[in-house]
Amino acid sequence: MLRKGCWRLQARLCFLYRSVQVSKSGHRKLVSCIDPSMGLNEEQKEFQKVAFNFAAQEMAPNMAEWDQKELFPVEMMQKAAQLGFGGVYVRTDVGGSGLSRLDTSIIFEALATGCTSTTAYISIHNMCVWMIDTFGNEEQRHKFCPPLCTMTKFASYCLTEPESGSDAASLLTSAKRQGDHYILNGSKAFISGGGESDIYVVMCRTGGPGPKGISCIIVEKGTPGLSFGKKEKKVGWNSQPTRAVIFEDCAVPVANRIGNEGQGFLIAMKGLNGGRINVASCSLGAAHASLVLTRDYLNARKQFGVPLASNQYLQFKLADMATRLVASRLIIRSAAVALQEEREDAVTLCSMAKLFATDECFTICNQALQMHGGYGYLKDYAVQQYVRDSRVHQILEGSNEVMRMLISRNLLQM
Catalytic (active-site) positions: 397
Alpha carbons 215 and 229: distance in angstroms, whole number: 23
Any residues with CB less than 8 A from the CB of 325 and at least 6 apart, and which? 34, 284, 287, 288, 291, 360, 361, 364
Neighbours of 400 (CB within 10 A): 18
Sort strands 214-220 and 174-178 into parallel, antiparallel or unpaired.
unpaired
Q: How far is CA 18 from CA 80, 216, 245, 290, in A?
A: 21, 44, 42, 14
Q: What is residue 301's three-state secondary structure?
A: coil
* DSSP letters for 361-404: HHHHHHHHHHHTGGGGGSTTSTHHHHHHHHHGGGTSSS-HHHHH
Q: What is residue 250's three-state secondary structure?
A: strand
Q: What is residue 39's three-state secondary structure?
A: coil
